[in-house]
Amino acid sequence: MHTKQTQALWELQRQGLPDIAESAARHWSEGRRYEPDEALHIPRSLETLIEQCNWEIERVSAPA
């Protein structure tokens, strides 16, 4: 797991969102983007961190 992913998961847990953290971890471990439900009220800083993690996943998963 990448540093940003670990940070995002820790922040999600800290914010009291363990189900979202688990779902995000599952997606990232499978090499897929995680897109949180828009109905969830996730702080903007966390949304940015999730996007950075998704970008990392896309870079690693992209064909060379």
Q: What is the pTM of this model?
A: 0.86
Dump pLDDT digits (tens) for 11-61: 999 999 999 999 999 999 999 999 998 888 888 999 999 999 999 998 887
* Nearest one of 37, 32, 28 to 6, comparing CA atoms: 28
Count of domains for the chain: 1
Which residue type sits at 2? H
Dump pLDDT digits (tens) for 1-21: 788 999 999 999 999 999 999
* Burial label, 8 (beta-carbon count in 10 A; 0-12, 13-18, 19+): buried
Domain extent, residue 20, equals: 3-61
